[in-house]
Structure 1
Amino acid sequence: MRFPTLSLLLLAHQAQAFQGQHPIHEPSISSTSTSPLLKLHKGLVEHESITGNEHNVAKYLISYLKDQNFTVESQDVGPWKGSTNPRENVFAYIGKQRKTRVLVSSHIDTVPPFWPYERRGDEIWGRGTVDAKGSVASQIIAVEELLAAGTLEEGDVALLFVVGEEVGGDGMKKANDLGLSWETAIFGEPTELKLASGHKGTMGLEIVAKGKAGHSGYPELGKSANAMLVPALNLLLNVELPYSEKYGNTTLNIGTMEGGVAANVIAENAGAKIAIRLADGTPAVIEKIILDTLLKADEELDVFFSSGYGPVYIDSDVPGFDTIVVNYGTDIPNLEGDHKKYLYGPGTIMMAHSDHEHLEVKDLENAVKGYKALIEHALK
């Protein structure tokens, strides 16, 4: 019996395709937004910024922050794969002091597809309204209000808005080149206005099967890559993965599958891409479990693992906030340094990445209050 071969290779994480996704409602006429918070949020959402195409929203944000008398730096991140479009992080602070005690940060990219801002009564719809332009807008207004109240001084707070969070985190990784460190970093993501006390880890893999094409009427003359792949995936669906009391089960999602060219042709090639959310352990532990499981399929399969990380602890010691554990990934592991970490923001992840992404006006308004409380706590 020929022993199966399994090869390992680190691959860059790929964006999920949302080409078939459309909003579940027909657009209606937007009402006029009057408050600075709603105006800023609307301006951010109206600028399409799918990962790789963040330049226009960055320019808008730079202009806005300069108008509010922030000192603004643009940090070049470089074009997205296969593109020549410029991309930049936006770093802003008060006066001349770029070294601050607190960093307030979120991301300005979104998942595809784009659809525009729409106001429906007390609800605001559109791509990025929740993830994460709601956080960006409320963070900025929170800092502005603290400045107006005389609570902040030079050296207290900096703002950092990064590209690429949705696909690999290249913006936040580049931010490490700023050469700065902070006592506290406050990250913005949809947490239902609760403090997240941690989130699951993440990693990905791709399984590729190589068969031999032939006529489906003579299966003995070929070897079906689909028939090689399906049993392997079935084994993974039934494998026991690490569990923890805090984060629950480690979950495995077969996100994409493809194979073959026609029903009457033996499939020569097949593949699947899988995302794993780690509740316990490390990517190395999960890799061993996956490889040991796939060996039981007794097929020649190539396995490509993407880089990842285990569960992430997040500080949640601020009085007056409820707490939550979230299953999604963030930029928190991508920012180097020995700082306290908080994760907070308006909206729910259940709306993010969906065909019904929206939040309520009161969520944005309450988030401003929440960010102000977090900043003030960090500066005590």
Structure 2
Amino acid sequence: MANTPVVQLLRQLMEIPSVSEEEQKIGIFLSKYLENLGYTVEPIPIAPDSDRCNVYAYLGADRKARTCMTSHMDTVPPHIDFKIEGDIIYGRGACDDKGPLAAQIIAAEELRAERVIQDGDISLLFVVGEEKGGPGMLAANDMNLNWEAIIHSGYPEKGKNAATTLVTLLDELKSLDLPTSELLGPTTFNLGKIQGGVAYNVLAADAYALCGIRVAANLEEIEKKVAEIVKKYPDVTLKKSFGYPETYLDYEIEGLDSMPVSFGTDIPRLKGNHKRYLYGPGSILHAHGVNEQVAIPDLIESVAVYKRLVLASLEKNAQY
């Protein structure tokens, strides 16, 4: 199984470090790789003076396609080297998001080889920055394309301990009663990073925390509750990097199970009336951690599932 096309492609992708804001090398690799397969490829800068580019690929001369498969090229830090143990692939990007990206390319190639898709049926969009605010998917809106379906702190005064203040505030935020959804489940709060001070025996002059809230319902109410808590601490400044409400996706594909999940995605940032499917091999429980991984059988199976999603979106019948 380690020699299958999807595993070999994933190995190549994972050997290229691509932490958010450092996606240039993997973008160049993907552009050349897809060009060699016969795709028309457009590296698209996310801003006029930016060297960070989304990669958009399609069959033929017309960039408009009915279905678009999309993944992101960037990863969270730090880079972790590719490794196989048994039938498990370990390393940064194994399941978030280079495993799905590799599977999408191989799925498209198998559909081409089987002659069940043609020019204008499918395109591939690989974006930058999903792990850091989603600027790549936001920039994709400027492509002026529509598809039928998308298969994707504190500044204390002298004498105050900023770290102590911050920890107290964070404990309140963690205990907040946040909205829930009957379909999507609970809204979840995560403290991702906390930093402050210089030594154990010195009052911390400053401190900060990076937190994320996965919204299941009522973004406005959540923002209000958070602001009310922070307001109680006059030495703390609240800064919101980005936010979007709960996301409802299309999921009724015969023979495929579906489930609500509490993790972020840049799908809401791509505007339009297209259907939106979110699927990928591996488990979100393994994403972002030191043991990020994907099982090779799951990776291989995902190629078939992506093919089913493409054909379902194109309303073509096939058995996979």
When normalised by structure 1's length, the TM-score is: 0.77
Other-structure match for 2:318: none
Instruction: Report the secondary structure of 1:287's partner residue.
Output: helix
How big is each residue's C-alpha offset from its partner over 1:66-105, in whole Å with a ceiling of 9 and x where there is no partner? Answer: 11111111112359xxxx9932111111111211111111
Instruction: Name the CA distance, whole Å, in 1 between partners of 2:74 and 2:283.
Output: 17
Other-structure match for 1:73: 42
Other-structure match for 2:214: 277
Quote the offset at 1:162 in angstroms.
Answer: 0.9
Instruction: Report the secondary structure of 2:132's partner residue.
Output: coil
Instruction: Name the CA distance, whole Å, in 1 between partners of 2:166 and 2:3.
Output: 56
Instruction: Report the secondary structure of 1:347's partner residue.
Output: coil
Other-structure match for 1:329: 264
Other-structure match for 1:143: 108
Instruction: Classify 1:252/1:68 alpha carbon distance in 2 versus 1 (closer, same or farther; 3 Å).
Output: same
Contact 2:80 2:290 in 1 (8 A): no
How big is each residue's C-alpha offset from its partner over 1:135-192, in whole Å with a ceiling of 9 and x where there is no partner? Answer: 11111111111111111111111111111111111111111111111110011xxxxx
Choose which of 142, 148, 151 in structure 2 pairs with 1:183: 148
1:156 aligns with 2:121: yes
Other-structure match for 2:88: 123
How big is each residue's C-alpha offset from its partner over 1:312-356, in whole Å with a ceiling of 9 and x where there is no partner? Answer: 001001100011211111110111111100001111111111111
Contact 2:70 2:151 in 1 (8 A): yes
Instruction: Report the secondary structure of 2:21's partner residue.
Output: coil
Matches within 5 A, 1:1-380: 33-77=2-46, 86-187=51-152, 207-212=153-158, 222-282=159-219, 284-295=220-231, 297=232, 299-380=234-315
Quote the offset at 1:114 in angstroms.
Answer: 1.3
Q: How many residues align?
A: 315
Quote the offset at 1:291 in angstroms.
Answer: 2.3
How big is each residue's C-alpha offset from its partner over 1:103-151, in whole Å with a ceiling of 9 and x where there is no partner? Answer: 1110111111112222223222221111111111111111111111111
Contact 2:44 2:56 in 1 (8 A): yes
Instruction: Name the CA distance, whole Å, in 1 between partners of 2:82 and 2:164.
Output: 46
Opposite residue 314 of structure 1, the aligned amino acid is L
1 or 2, which has the higher strand percentage?
1
Quote the offset at 1:266 in angstroms.
Answer: 4.2
How big is each residue's C-alpha offset from its partner over 1:33-78, in whole Å with a ceiling of 9 and x where there is no partner? Answer: 4332222121111111111111111111111111111111111235
Say which one has the larger Rg: 1
Contact 1:55 1:85 in 2 (8 A): no
Opposite residue 130 of structure 2, the aligned amino acid is E
Unaligned stretches of 5+ in structure 1? 1-31, 188-206, 213-221
Instruction: Classify 1:34/1:248 alpha carbon distance in 2 versus 1 (closer, same or farther; 3 Å).
Output: closer
Contact 1:256 1:273 in 2 (8 A): yes
Other-structure match for 1:27: none
Contact 2:162 2:206 in 1 (8 A): yes
Q: CA RMSD in A?
A: 2.2
When normalised by structure 2's length, the TM-score is: 0.91
Opposite residue 353 of structure 1, the aligned amino acid is H
Opposite residue 274 of structure 1, the aligned amino acid is C
Instruction: Classify 1:44/1:272 alpha carbon distance in 2 versus 1 (closer, same or farther; 3 Å).
Output: closer
Unaligned stretches of 5+ in structure 2? 316-320
Quote the offset at 1:374 in angstroms.
Answer: 0.6
Contact 1:239 1:293 in 2 (8 A): no
The sequence identity of aligned pairs, in percent, is: 43
Instruction: Report the secondary structure of 2:38's partner residue.
Output: coil
